[in-house]
């Protein structure tokens, strides 16, 4: 088995891993009670969006942060797609 046959699987795992790392919320919320812990050690972008929208009631800022999160995930996905490349037709 060669790498070109494994390329789609590697691409899928890489994209899903990046998305999973960026959207971690529940563990950080439970550990730090939503505050981010000491020195914001467990503060993630999704916890920031939650605190901004629910606790601070700044829905516009939370929506903008959500769009930034989408753009970051999209750019990382495009970068991985460029690294792994398209699957060539034989």
Q: Domain ranges in the chain?
A: 3-84
Q: Is residue 87's pLDDT more than 70?
A: no
CA-to-CA dists, residue 1 to 4, 5, 6, 12, 48, angstroms: 8, 7, 8, 18, 44
| Residue 89 pLDDT greater than 70, yes or no | no
Does position 50 have pLDDT exceeding 90, yes or no?
no
pLDDT of res. 85? 66
Average pLDDT over residues 74-80: 83
pLDDT tens, 7-43?
777 778 877 887 777 777 777 787 788 787 788 778 8
Q: Rounded CA gap, 17 and 86, in Å?
A: 19
Checking if the pLDDT of 55 tops 60, the result is: yes
């Amino acid at each position: 088995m060669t790498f070109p046959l494994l390329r789609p699987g590697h691409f899928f795992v890489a994209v899903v891993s990046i998305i999973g790392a960026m959207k971690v919320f529940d563990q950080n919320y439970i550990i730090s009670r939503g505050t981010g812990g000491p020195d914001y050690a467990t503060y993630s972008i999704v916890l920031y969006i939650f605190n901004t929208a629910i606790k601070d009631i700044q829905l516009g800022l939370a929506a903008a942060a959500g769009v930034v999160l989408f753009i970051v995930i999209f750019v990382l996905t495009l970068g991985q797609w460029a690294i792994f490349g398209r699957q060539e037709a034989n």
